[in-house]
Chain A
Amino acid sequence: MNAIELTGLTKYYGKERGIESVSLTVAEGEVFGFIGPNGAGKSTTIRTLLGLLKPSLGSAKILGIDTFSNGVEARKLVGYLPSEVNFYSEMTSRELLMYHAEVYEVDDAERKIEELGDYFELALDRPIDDLSYGNKKKCAIIQAVLHEPNVLILDEPTGGLDPLMQNRFFDLLERLNSEGATVFFSSHILSEVQRMCDRAAIIREGSITAVEDISQLLAKQMKRVRLILEKDQPLSLPEGAQNHHGSGLKHTFDFVGPTADLVQWLSEQPLADVVLNEPDLENIFMNYYKR
């Protein structure tokens, strides 16, 4: 059975496009990336899947349960981490998490909250209003996983987390995934998706443009190469290079192709320094669609 199944999911806000005919399937136990630039329709897809937005067309299922006709049952199986964290400001983290646990009827909730609070170093008894954005995000992560959901839906999950907490979060996700949880990981940060996911769907302007294995995606991924040569000599660019700028010792170009080919080419150059950057996602997409 598929953990998530979207078929022709469409959402219009009046005449304005939200998402159009989004179809994809996520297998049980998979870590699935959902990537696209800001405004591409990632959050709209998730919010429609969860019933916050009413779909214009199409269907959505979570573990075979229709999320529109039987949303309550479907949501019992889901842990959701929103991109923007808004909780009841008058509550403390502990009160909010206990409230969440009561709604989901979580056994032994107090102990689990204490453990997860310790793991993420969250001050559970401080009012949510007094917490930094990063700490609110930790609270949001805990509420997403506290009831041990079968499917985790994460929308831009690492925003606000420092690198140490990001690593703990990824470790937790890997553990939950190894125990059988499916993870739907929406992000505009490609490196996060690369690290966590087996497959990914790319959404652009409200439509799915590709569903790829991460390895295939990487093969098509563009890198920005900045290099300084030790000596001024004519540069013969590798196959897959484009947008070349510079002359003499300093050169910049975008490279599309297998990373191994680039490394091989670089090893043959008289390099004083080299920097490889992940270009912004928009450039990757521009390049991706050109091919």
Chain B
Amino acid sequence: MIHGVIFKKELKRNRKNWLIWTSIVLGFTLMVLSIYPSFSQMGDQMAQLMSSLPEEYARAFGMDAATWQSITGFYGTYYGIYITLLMGIFTASTAATIIGKEERDGTAEFLLTRPVSRSTIVWTKVAVLITLFVMIYAVQAVVAVLGMNLFGDTVDWDTMLNMHIHGFFLVLLFTAVGMLLSSFLSVKLNFMGPIVGIIFGSFFLDAISKATEAVDWLGYFSPYHYLNLAADQGVLELNPWGCVAFTVAAALMIFISHMRYMKKDIAG
């Protein structure tokens, strides 16, 4: 099912890209956590600032009075807005190109004329993709925990855990969307634009739906609606069914991509 030699080669081929994106995500995580002490020292001033924000704005970005009173709430705001977006863009763009790039660069002819089935090649690439995703996710989570301990006072570990579990399944879904896109669109297309558009679009769709009641139905079209990343009044409940649904949706998208690749003519 998974070809060890190809897996090793693919992992090596993607390591530079992984390192760059992981550095960005880690740098951002540490920056967010390191500025928290300055904010927390501002005490009442921050509470006043929060209350002066337009209510719609605060709702859109998952901010409330509790947001700035603990490092968990503070980190959660940035985790939703930036960190999952960055990880999603990395994994979805890698998913979109990990198979299509071979065709675009002409190396598919070399790969597919080896004694390896197409199915094995696709599943090996999926395994590489999941490995890259799990590695960036795990490294970010570990650094976030260390940063919390370093810069935080009291950490709400339950909220932190639920936030990261939701983040995992959101990024997994975006990864699968990237793979599905590549199986339907031309390999010559630069996928970064559509992927950034989909991920940012999903985020802002959810934000708009939360900000304006008249269009709250827009939220149903965004994955962020189903798996919250920001705590509400300091509490973030786990949505296990949402996680299951996202896993099933991701598996389905990967399966469809696999089926399409199995039938595809490889251009010369």
Q: Pick from B108, B110, B117, B266: contact of A72, CB below 8 A.
A: B117
Say yes or no: B114 contacts A54, CB within 8 Å: no
CB <8 Å contact, B113 and A78: yes
A99-B9, A103-B5 known; A87-B113 Cβ under 8 A? no
In the assembled complex, which residues on chain B have CB atoms less than 8 Å from the CB atom of A99?
Answer: 5, 9
24 sampled A-B residue pairs with Cβ under 8 A: A47-B268, A50-B113, A51-B112, A51-B113, A52-B112, A52-B266, A54-B263, A71-B117, A72-B115, A72-B116, A82-B113, A84-B109, A86-B105, A87-B110, A88-B13, A88-B107, A88-B110, A89-B105, A90-B13, A99-B5, A103-B114, A103-B115, A103-B116, A143-B110
Give the residues in chain B near A72, CB-CB below 8 Å.
115-117
Smallest Cβ-Cβ distance to A89: which chain B residue = B105
Give Cα A47–Cα B109 distance, bound, in whole angstroms.
9
Binding site for B on A (CB under 8 A): 13, 43, 47, 50-54, 71-73, 75-76, 78, 80, 82-84, 86-90, 99-100, 102-104, 143
Chain A residues, CB < 8 A from B9: 99
CB of B266 within 8 A of CB of A104, answer no
* Cα separation A83 to B110 with both chains bound (whole Å): 12
Which residues of A have CB within 8 Å of B112? 50-52
A216–B138 Cα gap in the complex (Å)? 69
In the assembled complex, the CB of A229 is this many whole angstroms from the nearest CB of chain B, namely: 49
Q: Which residues of chain A are near B263, meaning CB under 8 Å?
A: 54
Q: B residues within 8 A CB of A43?
A: 268
Cβ-based interface call for B265 (8 A): yes
Residues of B within 8 A of A102 (CB): 5
**Interchain CA distance A84-B106 in the complex, whole Å:** 9
Chain A contacts for B26, CB-based, 8 A: none
A104 to B108, CA, bound (A): 17
8 closest Cβ contacts across the A-B interface? A86-B106, A76-B115, A75-B115, A52-B266, A102-B5, A53-B265, A80-B113, A103-B114
Tell me which of A73, A84, A100, A143 contacts B268 (CB under 8 A). A84
- Across the two chains, which residue of chain B brings its CB closest to A90? B13
Distance of A71 Cα from B268 Cα, bound (Å): 19
Question: Nearest CB to that of B266 among chain A residues?
Answer: A52
Alpha-carbon distance between A80 and B13 when the two chains are bound, in angstroms: 24
> B265 to A54, Cβ gap below 8 A?
yes
Contacts of B265 in A (CB 8 A): 13, 52-54
Interchain CB contact under 8 A, B266 and A47 = yes
Q: Is there an interface contact between A100 and B105, defined as CB atoms closer than 8 Å?
A: no
Say whether B249 faces chain A, with CB atoms less than 8 Å apart.
Answer: no
Nearest neighbor of A51 in chain B, beta-carbon distance:
B112
Q: CA separation between A90 and B10, bound complex, in Å? A: 12
Contact A53 B266, beta carbon cutoff 8 Å: yes
1-54 of chain B: CB within 8 A of chain A: 3, 5-6, 9, 13
In the complex, what's the smallest C-beta–C-beta distance from B120 to chain A, in angstroms?
Answer: 8
Write out the residue numbers on chain A whose beta carbons fall within 8 Å of the beta carbon of B6: 103
Chain B residues whose CB sits within 8 angstroms of the CB of A100 once the complex forms: 114
Contact B5 A86, beta carbon cutoff 8 Å: no
| A73: chain B residues within 8 A (beta carbon) | 115
> Once bound together, how far apart are the Cα atoms of A143 and B117, in whole Å?
19
Complex CA gap A73/B114 in Å reads: 10
**Least CB distance, B115 to chain A, in whole angstroms:** 4
Chain A residue at minimal CB-CB distance from B108: A52
The contact string, 1 if C-beta is below 8 Å from chain A, for chain B 81-107, is 000000000000000000000000111
CB distance from B8 to the nearest CB of A (A): 9
What residues of A have a CB within 8 angstroms of the CB of B115 in the complex?
A: 72-73, 75-76, 103-104
Give the Cβ gap from B133 to chain A, nearest Cβ, in Å. Answer: 22
Q: Distance in Å from the Cβ of A92 to the closest Cβ of chain B?
A: 13
B6 — nearest CB in chain A belongs to which residue?
A: A103
Contact B107 A87 (CB under 8 A): yes
